[in-house]
């Protein structure tokens, strides 16, 4: 009988748990020294023609939160596919949102016009007195009926 080391057993056990676990709907992206996590209500499952609230948790390298008050941020929504020169389909205004344990993070209310794939692009530069590199983060969102 072959004996398996405890480390190897735990590694295989962890791998099997990760494979069996559903993938989270939240998507993390990184641009320079800024990371972003997108969340869309309701339940990361926006519906065409209905208002959805999108919010992005922005953090500096090391995990420090970047609230909207510290960022000159813009949000653009494109239908997919689109070319580099395409104008955004929507440019929703951002407002500070308190969600879960996060306060003052960038958020927007979006009504996706029809079923399909969209690209949400948030870009930003630091306001005076704040230090992070300008960033641009892109997320794909699938909208249902």
Return the pLDDT at 24: 40
When pLDDT is averaged across residues 64-89 and rounded to a whole number, the result is: 95
For residue 121, what are its two tokens?
């692009």
For residue 38, what are its two tokens?
């997108």
CA distance 83 to 113: 19
**At 41, is the pLDDT very low, low, confident or very high (cuts 50, 70, 90)?**
very high
The region of weakest confidence among 81-85, 89-93, 95-99 is: 81-85
Return the pLDDT at 100: 87
Return the pLDDT at 14: 33
**Overall size of the chain counted in residues:** 145
Q: Report, at the CATH architecture level, how domain 24-143 is classified.
A: Sandwich (2.60)
Phi first, then psi: what are they for 8, rounded to 5°?
-65, -40
Q: Is the pLDDT of residue 20 over 80?
A: no
Q: Is the pLDDT of residue 16 over 50?
A: no
Pairing of strands 116-126, 71-79: antiparallel
Q: Nearest 10 degrees: CA dihedral of 90, 93, 94, 96?
A: -140
Pairing of strands 95-99, 71-79: unpaired
3-state helix, strand, coil split of the chain in percent (to 5) is 10, 50, 40
pTM exceeding the 0.85 threshold for the entire prediction = no
């Amino acid at each position: 009988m072959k004996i398996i080391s405890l480390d190897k057993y735990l590694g295989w056990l962890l791998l099997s748990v990760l494979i069996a676990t559903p993938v989270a709907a939240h998507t993390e992206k990184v641009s320079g020294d800024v990371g972003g996590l997108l969340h869309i209500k309701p339940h990361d499952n926006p519906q065409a023609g209905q208002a959805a609230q999108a919010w992005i948790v922005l953090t500096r390298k090391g995990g420090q939160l970047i609230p909207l008050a510290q960022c000159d941020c813009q949000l653009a929504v494109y239908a997919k596919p689109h070319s580099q020169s395409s104008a955004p389909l929507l440019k929703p205004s951002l407002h500070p949102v308190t969600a879960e344990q996060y306060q003052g993070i960038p958020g927007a209310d979006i009504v996706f016009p029809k079923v399909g794939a969209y690209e949400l692009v948030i870009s930003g530069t630091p306001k005076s007195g704040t230090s992070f590199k300008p960033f641009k983060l892109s997320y794909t969102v699938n909208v249902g009926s």
